[in-house]
Structure 1
Amino acid sequence: MLPWIHLATASTPEGDTLRLLRRGDEFSIRLEDGNELMNSRLGGSEEALATLALDLLAGRPAPRVLIGGLGMGFTLRAAQSVAPPGARLIVSEIVPELVEWAEEHMAAVFGDCLEDPRVEVKTGDVRTAISEAAGAFDAILLDVDNGPDGLTRGDNDALYGEADLLAARRALTPGGVLAVWSAAPDPAFTKRLTWCGFDTDVHAVRAGRTKRGSRHTIWTAVRTDS
């Protein structure tokens, strides 16, 4: 078996170390302790995050979509594949090096998706982008850390708390969609979404693109105005 080759290292704002590894045509982003955050062969659930959300926006000719976290681009590319020509896809990535890795080390994975005129990548915290918006987005897609039970950033706990969910609701247009990816189910988070004014569905989605492998959880939460 081919060995893993270390390509690059980056630090999160809280000081955690991210390592980019390659084995043949496979890429992996891991914490310093070896815990894998992303793998280029396992993007099925991240793709579903985009397609499930945008299905709920069918009929909107120019949806404005905020994507929290670039990662390996699975959510972005899935959104591109189904979004109409008039869409705007804004990606908020807090670790600048991940954007550099996408353009350099993982160019074969990303292809030309970052050159799409519908796409804008901004370096910064998605929490800030949400808090500064009011009715600005038709969808907010959060693929940040490990979901409501985060691994790398303590601030991410707040992102999934009541105050930030209410901020996300304010940032959405009427009928807009908040979609959240998680490595595991979280019934308490489902209840929080409902309490914060969302009509919520929970989806169990395979991590890969086949019917095998572990299941991840995706919430699609539609802003209610009743």
Structure 2
Amino acid sequence: MLPWIQIDQADVPGDGGQVLRLKQRGQEFSIMLGTNELMNSRLSGSEEALASLSYERIAGRPRPHIMIGGLGMGFTLRAALDVLPEDARVTVAELVPAVVDWARGPMAQVFKGCLDDPRVHIHLGDVGALIRASKAAFDAILLDVDNGPDGLTRPSNDRLYDHEGLRATREALRPGGVLAVWSSGPDDKFTRRLRDSGFAAEAKSVRASTKRSGARHVIWLAERK
């Protein structure tokens, strides 16, 4: 079997002193945070579902504007572009500039030019700050910046998932807008926090891969009441 080779690494801005590492084995890529694998180019099913399930809730809206928190390997972005109309806008908030460089460089074959789509705008910065600065701006906000509703990549991300952060997200959504959150596993307390913060929320179990077997992940779909 081919060995993993580290291609690059990048500091995560802000607190925590965390480091992302990009690794490659043949045509397979992995982004690691310490010993945790955040994403792998072989597993895209749940990230794609994050986009497709969200769009089902807002389909038919004129000139929809969605935010994607976390560029990752572009699976959610590509899936969103496949279903969104030509007049849509997609704002991708990415904290680590190197991840965008990886998308245009060593992982260009994975991204397949999606960053060049005229509907796409890359916002380099903290997704939480962008949410707090936005009022009724988005039809959907899709978050895939941690392995679940806690601050894995940086401790300050916890503020995205507490009551105050969820209320800020609610205000950043247009009426009837949708918040979708990706997670590696279930969290009943987070479901309750969503409902307490003014969302009609449900957790859906989806396959991690595009196959019909294997591990499952969780996607919360929360509609602003």
TM-score (norm: length of structure 2)? 0.97
Residue 25 of structure 2 corresponds to 23
Q: Are 1:202 and 2:203 matched, yes or no?
A: yes
Letter of the aligned partner of 1:56 in structure 2? R
Q: How far apart, in 2, do the equivalents of 1:197 and 1:124 lie?
A: 26
Aligned positions of 1:58-137 closer than 5 A: 58-137=59-138
Q: Given residue 11 of structure 1, which amino acid in structure 2 is its aligned partner?
A: D
Q: Where does residue 162 of structure 2 map in the other structure?
A: 161
Q: CA deviation at 1:99?
A: 0.3
What letter is aligned with 1:10?
Answer: A
The Cα shift of 1:75 comes to: 0.7
Match of 1:56 in 2: 57
Contact 2:207 2:214 in 1 (8 A): yes
In the TM superposition, what is the alpha-carbon distance from 1:150 to its structure 2 partner? 3.4
Counterpart-to-counterpart distance in 2, 1:142 and 1:41: 20
Per the alignment, residue 220 of structure 1 pairs with: 221
How much identity, in percent, do the aligned residues show?
59
CA distance in 2 between counterparts of 1:185 and 1:215 reads 10
- SS for the counterpart of 1:49 is helix
Letter in 2 for 1:3: P
Q: 1:3 corresponds to which residue?
A: 3
Measure how far apart 1:212 and its partner are: 1.6
CA distance in 1, matches of 2:56, 2:125: 27
> Alpha-carbon deviation of 1:145?
1.3
Which amino acid in the other structure matches residue 7 of structure 1? I
Task: State the Cα distance separating 1:152 from its structure 2 match.
Answer: 2.1
Aligned 8 A contact 2:64 2:138 in 1: yes
Aligned 8 A contact 2:145 2:153 in 1: no
Query: Which deviates the most, 6-15 or 161-170?
Result: 6-15
TM-score (norm: length of structure 1) = 0.97
1:79-111: CA deviation from partner (whole Å, max 9, x where unpaired):
001001110000000000000000001000001
- In structure 2, what is the Cα distance between the partners aligned to 1:119 and 1:137? 14
Counterpart CA distance in 1 for 2:150 and 2:135 is 27
2:32 partner amino acid: R
Higher mean C-alpha deviation, range 67-76 or range 147-156: 147-156
Listed as ranges, the gaps of 5+ residues in structure 1 are none
Aligned residues: 223
Q: CA RMSD in A?
A: 0.9
Work out the CA distance in 2 between the residues paired with 1:207 and 1:150: 21
Alignment of 1:173-212 (within 5 A): 173-212=174-213
Q: CA deviation at 1:171?
A: 0.5
Please give the alpha-carbon distance, in whole angstroms, between the structure 2 residues aligned to 1:176 and 1:63: 10
